[in-house]
């Protein structure tokens, strides 16, 4: 009987990596397939999610936002309340359990805003594993707090100076490190991207977000939501937020990309609005690139969203029209950062505030009996200094 080809999402996906890494991917494919059929794997995964990472996360009814916007009821899926302050830990726990099954002793990870790096450093500490994180030089400066958090956790942070010194360059460096140490090292990819089986693994481990949200909204409202909104860089919290609703066509799925200074300005990270199909970072997907296939520079205020590509499943959901992808600018996300702080008493990550800003536009266009779930992928402590700076306020010293 033919196995379903889980390497592909329509034309997207695949395994476009150097041969040196293929044996490790083959090994990972086998371990992931075995884990998916193994109740003991899931027992340990959920034990750690619940006992260590503070799941299930709340689905919180944002009453003041709802009343203020005057349309659909808004629920916030509070991934910001997880241990380490973001959704990233869900996937890291899953992948590191696989790494242990494979007998790997060293973890590496890329990070943009630092949230995935912190989550990986945390689980490395928990399991007593060696860990190195690759982070673009520019990002280490934008997110100094997270760099120090990782170091406190015993992880070595490598500032990557090649390219723009951003997330893309951190992925390049992590792939190169992995190719040099494929035997003892496990590359914990933080986003729904990279070569198969990574996009499928990240989907699987982050789908806990929408599994919980679906049950929680049925309890609260007795029906499915009308819209699910999440921010998209590579797309891990979005795919986790969408996963359980993809087969419910009445649920609108909205992925919110970072438009930077605006989709048409050339200073943007809105991949699905401005990109074209290509092959990079192990996958066929959509990338911001020139006509010859050279990967483009990206810009966003958010270090977690300024990636010139997007996970292959998102590229496929966009191509099929099942999900809608929209851009939110720096200005709009900073305004949303301030808005949700004042309205709901929540300081949310600047990444998540891209989703909040879109909810501010979407909710008023919907009826009061309709429901939106917006994923708050992370908390915003790390962004306070940068937002102050954006407003021309120096809070240092």
Partner 1 sequence: MSKLKDVFTDHKAFIPFVTAGDPTAADTVAEVVALAENGADIVELGVPFSDPIADGPVIQAAGLRAFAGGITVDGVFKIVQEIREHTQVPLVFLTYANIPFKYGYEAFCARCEELGVNGLVIPDLPAEEAGEILPFTKTHQLDLIPLVSPTSGPRLAKLVTHATGFVYIVSALGVTGQREGFAQNLDDLIADLRQVTDAPLCVGFGVHTPAQAKELAQVADGVIVGSAIVELAAESDDAPKAVGEYTKSMVAAIAEA
Q: List interacting residues with partner 1 (CB under 8 A).
A: 7, 14-24, 26, 162-163, 168, 172, 175-176, 179-183, 276-282, 284, 287, 289, 291-295
Residue 5 beta carbon to partner 1: minimum distance, rounded to whole angstroms:
11
Residue 249 beta carbon to partner 1: minimum distance, rounded to whole angstroms:
31
By beta-carbon proximity to partner 1, the closer residue of 15 and 241 is 15
By beta-carbon proximity to partner 1, the closer residue of 117 and 275 is 275
Check if the beta carbon of residue 160 is closer than 8 Å to that of residue 137.
yes
Residue closest to 111 by CA, chosen among 142, 82, 83: 142
C-alpha–C-alpha distance, residues 319 and 324, integer Å: 9
By beta-carbon proximity to partner 1, the closer residue of 145 and 179 is 179
342 flagged as catalytic = no
Query: Which one of 79, 168, 377, 382 is the catalytic residue?
Result: 377
By beta-carbon proximity to partner 1, the closer residue of 45 and 178 is 178
Residue 8 beta carbon to partner 1: minimum distance, rounded to whole angstroms:
11
110 flagged as catalytic = yes
C-alpha–C-alpha distance, residues 161 and 136, integer Å: 6
88 flagged as catalytic = yes
Residue 7 beta carbon to partner 1: minimum distance, rounded to whole angstroms:
8
Residue 6 beta carbon to partner 1: minimum distance, rounded to whole angstroms:
13
By beta-carbon proximity to partner 1, the closer residue of 15 and 84 is 15
By beta-carbon proximity to partner 1, the closer residue of 50 and 276 is 276
Query: Which one of 73, 79, 110, 382 is the catalytic residue?
Result: 110
By beta-carbon proximity to partner 1, the closer residue of 286 and 373 is 286
Mind spelling out the 3-state secondary structure of the chain? Answer: CCCCCCCEECCEEEEECCHHHHHHHHHHHHHHHHHHCCHHHHHHHHHHHHHCCCCCCCEEECHHHHHHHCCCEEEEEEHHHCCCCECHHHHHHHHHHHHHHCCCCEEEEEECCCHHHHHHHHHHHHHCCEEEEEEEHHHHHHCHHHHHHHHHCCCEEEEECCCCCCHHHHHHHHHHHHHHCCCCEEECCCCCCCCCCHHHHHHHHHCHHHHHHHHHHHHHHCCCCCEEEEEECCCHHHHHHHHHHCCCCCCEEEEEEEEECCCCCCCCCCHHHHCEEEEECEEEEEECECCCCCECCCCCCCCCCCCCECCHHHHHHHHHCCEEEEEEEHHHHHHHHHHHHHHHCCCECHHHHHHHHHHHHHHHHCCCCCEEEEEECEECHHHHHHHHHHCCCCCCC
CA distances to 49, 209, 248, 391 from 82, in Å: 9, 11, 27, 29
- Name the strands in the sheet holding 185-187, side by side, starting at the edge strand that comes first in the sequence: 156-160, 130-136, 106-111, 185-187
Query: Which one of 73, 77, 88, 168 is the catalytic residue?
Result: 88
- Residues assigned a catalytic role: 88, 110, 377
């Amino acid at each position: 009987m033919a196995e379903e080809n889980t390497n592909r999402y329509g034309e997207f996906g695949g395994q476009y990596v150097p041969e040196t890494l293929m044996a490790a991917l083959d090994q990972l494919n086998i371990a992931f397939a075995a884990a998916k059929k193994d109740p003991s794997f899931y027992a340990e995964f959920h034990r750690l999610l619940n006992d260590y990472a503070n799941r299930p996360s709340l689905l919180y009814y944002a009453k003041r936002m709802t009343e203020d916007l005057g349309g659909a009821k808004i629920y916030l899926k509070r991934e910001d309340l997880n241990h380490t302050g973001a959704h990233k830990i869900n996937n890291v726990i899953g992948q590191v359990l696989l790494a242990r099954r494979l007998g790997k002793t060293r973890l590496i990870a890329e990070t943009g805003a630092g949230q995935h790096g912190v989550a990986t450093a945390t689980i490395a500490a928990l399991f007593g594993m060696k860990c190195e994180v690759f982070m673009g030089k520019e990002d280490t400066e934008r997110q100094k707090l997270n760099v120090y958090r990782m170091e406190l956790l015993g992880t070595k942070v490598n500032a990557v100076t090649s390219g723009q010194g951003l997330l893309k360059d951190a992925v390049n460096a992590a792939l190169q490190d992995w190719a040099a140490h494929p035997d003892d090292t496990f590359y914990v990819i933080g986003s729904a991207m990279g070569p198969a089986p990574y996009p499928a693994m990240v989907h699987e481990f982050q789908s806990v977000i929408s599994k919980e949200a679906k049950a929680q909204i049925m309890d609260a409202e007795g029906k499915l939501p009308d819209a699910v909104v999440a921010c998209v860089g590579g797309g891990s919290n979005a795919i986790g937020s969408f996963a359980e609703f993809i087969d419910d066509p009445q649920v609108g799925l909205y992925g919110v990309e970072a438009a930077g200074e605006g989709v048409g300005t050339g200073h943007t990270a809105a991949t699905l609005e401005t990109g074209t199909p290509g092959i990079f970072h192990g996958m066929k997907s959509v990338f911001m690139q020139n006509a010859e296939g050279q990967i483009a520079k990206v810009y966003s205020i958010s270090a977690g969203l300024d990636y010139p590509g997007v996970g292959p499943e998102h590229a496929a959901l966009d191509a099929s029209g099942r999900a809608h992808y929209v851009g939110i600018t720096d200005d709009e996300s900073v305004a949303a950062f301030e808005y949700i702080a004042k309205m709901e008493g929540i300081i949310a990550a600047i990444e998540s505030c891209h989703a909040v800003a879109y909810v501010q536009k979407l909710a008023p266009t919907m009826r009061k009996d309709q429901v939106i779930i917006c994923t708050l992928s992370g908390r915003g402590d790390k962004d306070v200094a940068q937002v102050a700076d954006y407003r021309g306020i120096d809070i240092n010293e």
